[in-house]
Amino acid sequence: MVEVPEIPRVESLELPAKETALIVVDMQNDFAHPQGALFVPEAPKSVPAIRLLLERARAAGARVVYTQDWHREDDPEFQIWPRHAVAGTWGAEILEDLRPEPGDLIVQKVRYDAFYGTPLEHYLHLWGVKHVVVTGTVANICVLHTAGSAALRWYQVVLPEDATSALTPFDLQATLRQVTFLYQGKVTRAEGVRFV
């Protein structure tokens, strides 16, 4: 039995809206809908928390970014995972309950990290973003790689754990440990995040 080190949590925090981006990672049908090709059973439970963060971010004028896993039919990733999130298919679409709004940025990515081969860093820089709130699925894969890549670029990372889902509880705890220990990010719950 492996004992997970204590994860420090922050009850509430205020983030400057004009310097913050909310990133919703891969909340697509193939991951978050029960009929999806790689359904994460915990993903639907995170939808209300993500929706709350979206409402608060938009109301305060914070930037909103969605990522979409986005693959060609012959993507080599399908040697690792079953076929999923093929460009232009129902599975690649963002969940109807979390539909993007005009002005939101949608980043289509070919690997786990939302910064890899995408214009995400360019836009965050143009917008003057210093803080990123990372939510979505799958915690120890695309969420963690995106949060880690943001931290390596000196963005301050916030991870609301109830707005994040994983395939197993271990995977979620491992993600929280990495974010707080290695990347010096903050773990909280959606209700505790304020954009001011």
Q: How far is CA 112 from the centre of its chain?
A: 11
Contact 116, 122 (CB under 8 A): no
Choosing from 109, 113, 162, 186, which is the catalytic residue?
A: 109
Contact 145, 138 (CB under 8 A): no
Choosing from 75, 142, 162, 186, which is the catalytic residue?
A: 142
User: Does 26 qualify as catalytic in the annotation?
Assistant: yes
Q: How far is CA 46 from the centre of its chain?
A: 11
Pairwise CA distance, residues 13 & 82, whole Å = 39
DSSP 100-152: --TT-EEEEESSS-TTTTSSHHHHHHHHT--EEEEEEE-IIIIIHHHHHHHHH
Other C-beta atoms within 10 Å of 124: how many? Answer: 21
User: Does 109 qualify as catalytic in the annotation?
Assistant: yes
- The amino acid at residue 60 is A
Q: Give the bridge partners for 136, in sequence order.
A: 25, 164
Q: Peptide bond before 196: cis, by omega within 30 degrees of 0?
A: no
User: Does 142 qualify as catalytic in the annotation?
Assistant: yes
Choosing from 26, 30, 75, 162, which is the catalytic residue?
A: 26
| Catalytic residue numbers, as ranges | 26, 109, 142
